[in-house]
Amino acid sequence: MIRKLKIQHIWLSAMFLLVSAIPGVGWTETVNYELTIAQKKVTISGTTAEGMTLNGSIPGPTLRFKEGDTARIQVHNRMSVATSIHWHGLLVPPNMDGVPYVSFPPIQPGATFTYEFPIRQSGTYWYHSHSNLQEQSGVYGSIVIEPQHGDRRADSDHVILLSDWTTEDPHSVLRSLKRGSEWYALDKGSSQSILGAAIVGKLGDYFVRELQRMPAMDIADVAYDYFLANGQPETNIKATGGETVRLRIINGSATTYFHLEYAGGPMKIIAADGLDVQPIAQQRFLISVAETYDVLVKIPQNGAYEFRATAQDASGYASVWLGGGQRYPAPDIPQPNLYQ
């Protein structure tokens, strides 16, 4: 009898090891998070404005999962208006997608909604409100999903969540855009004039546009007060010289495209929108709204090197310093030609 039990034990152990070795098969768990959305005054670089926070901060917390897990996320609405959370890029059941009046009813003031769905993929993603203009007010955060069997291409792994921030009420911004005024272009010094067109030899184009009653075409429509990386215009990431660091870059802005550049050398792009790609090294590249890129960077032996995200119209940037010691900034982006 004892011999028979030993044989059964050995057989079961062997089967367990065999099943564990099969790709895509392994232990999974239900990962629980709670998110509380609230209206709150937010101070950035000494300037205070009305905002919306997730668990008291902008951006919200990074939600981490492993491929094969089940996500269970309770969202508490502590605001005076309805809200929602959309899981950008995730493959979820329709009623968990978080688009109000399309896939589910909005989360009313004082209510709680529990999202629950299987994690069917890996990569870098993000979440944000799909109600009114709440994303612009701060309701967004990052999602990191590890592959079933891990990824050892980097010594450390960090999220950089980019965004734009205005102290103006987002609904006021929308009204200004609908009026078609040049207020924001004037505010950031990017308005197009007869003199400017004449200087660059585009006077004819300028008058044709005026005769057609067409407004000037700006690179970016809104004048933002700040551009942010992980909620601040400038932040630091601890890294050791010689390390290879994976940066999970997310553009969670409302309207801004960013030029990305790293002072420590080329960035090797290894994933886009959560999917692995054929690695390619780039010194500078553009990230559009809602895109994500994963890059590998090498930390030089000495100093702190700037990862800079510059708004496409060169009206400002956000900085992330990697390493420590003497600072080495990334080069400035040339001012764009507004008349080309």
180-203 pLDDT, tens digit each: 878 888 788 777 756 566 667 776
297 lies in some domain: yes
Of the two residues 226 and 211, the one the predictor is more confident about is: 226
Determine the pLDDT at residue 119: 99
Average pLDDT, rounded, for the chain:
90
First to last CA, the chain: 87
Whether the pLDDT of residue 68 is over 60: the answer is: yes
Q: What is the pLDDT of residues 310-335, one digit of tens each?
A: 999 999 999 999 999 999 999 999 98
Determine the pLDDT at residue 196: 65
Instruction: Give the pair of three-digit tokens for residue 269.
Output: 């792009």
Whether the pLDDT of residue 219 is over 80: the answer is: yes
Among residues 304, 277, 281, 310, the alpha carbon closest in space to that of 292 is found at: 277
Q: What is the DSSP letter of 96?
A: G
Of the three residues 100, 132, 150, the one that is the final residue of a domain is 150
Confidence tier at 24 by pLDDT (50, 70, 90)? very low
207 lies in some domain: no
Q: Average of pLDDT values for 234-261?
A: 98
My answer on whether 166 and 129 are in the same domain is no
Angstrom distance (rounded) from CA 188 to CA 147: 43
Whether the pLDDT of residue 110 is over 70: the answer is: yes
Structural domain boundaries, residue 253: 153-190+218-340
Whether the pLDDT of residue 22 is over 50: the answer is: no
My answer on whether 243 and 289 are in the same domain is yes
My answer on whether 316 and 277 are in the same domain is yes
Angstrom distance (rounded) from CA 130 to CA 157: 28
Instruction: Give the pair of three-digit tokens for residue 243.
Output: 């390390």
My answer on whether 320 and 271 are in the same domain is yes
My answer on whether 226 and 303 are in the same domain is yes
138 SS3 class:
coil
The beta strand positions in 147-243, using DSSP E, are: 156-165, 226-229, 234-237
Of 38-47, 72-81, 208-217, 290-299, the range with the lowest mean pLDDT is 208-217
User: Rounded to whole angstroms, what are the CA distances from 151 to 121, 157, 314?
Assistant: 14, 10, 35
146 lies in some domain: yes
200 lies in some domain: no
| CB half-sphere exposure, 258, CA atoms < 13 A | 32
CB atoms under 10 Å from CB of 172, counted, come to 10
Angstrom distance (rounded) from CA 241 to CA 246: 14
Whether the pLDDT of residue 150 is over 70: the answer is: yes
Angstrom distance (rounded) from CA 293 to CA 156: 16
Q: What is the DSSP letter of 312?
A: T
Instruction: Give the pair of three-digit tokens for residue 265.
Output: 């050398």
Instruction: Give the pair of three-digit tokens for residue 248.
Output: 């999970």
Determine the pLDDT at residue 58: 98
My answer on whether 112 and 251 are in the same domain is no
My answer on whether 268 and 286 are in the same domain is yes
Determine the pLDDT at residue 144: 99
Confidence tier at 21 by pLDDT (50, 70, 90)? very low
Answer whether the bond into residue 59 is a cis peptide, omega within 30°.
yes
Q: Average of pLDDT values for 99-125?
A: 98
Instruction: Give the pair of three-digit tokens for residue 254.
Output: 């409302």
6 lies in some domain: no
Determine the pLDDT at residue 2: 41
Of 12-16, 50-54, 249-253, the range with the lowest mean pLDDT is 12-16
Answer for the pair 227, 318: CB distance below 8 angstroms, yes or no. yes
Quick one: residue 205, left, alpha or beta (phi over 0 = left, psi -120 to 50 = alpha)?
alpha
Whether the pLDDT of residue 25 is over 50: the answer is: no
The enclosing domain of 61 has a CATH number of: 2.60.40.420
Determine the pLDDT at residue 296: 99
Angstrom distance (rounded) from CA 146 to CA 204: 55
pTM for this predicted structure = 0.88
17 lies in some domain: no
My answer on whether 165 and 312 are in the same domain is yes
Of the two residues 340 and 74, the one the predictor is more confident about is: 74
Whether the pLDDT of residue 17 is over 60: the answer is: no
β-pairing, 267-272 vs 292-298, is: antiparallel
Q: What is the DSSP letter of 331?
A: P
Q: How many domains does the chain have?
A: 2
242 lies in some domain: yes
Q: Which residues contact 217 (CB under 8 A, 6 or more apart)?
A: none
Provide the β-strand partners of residue 33: 73
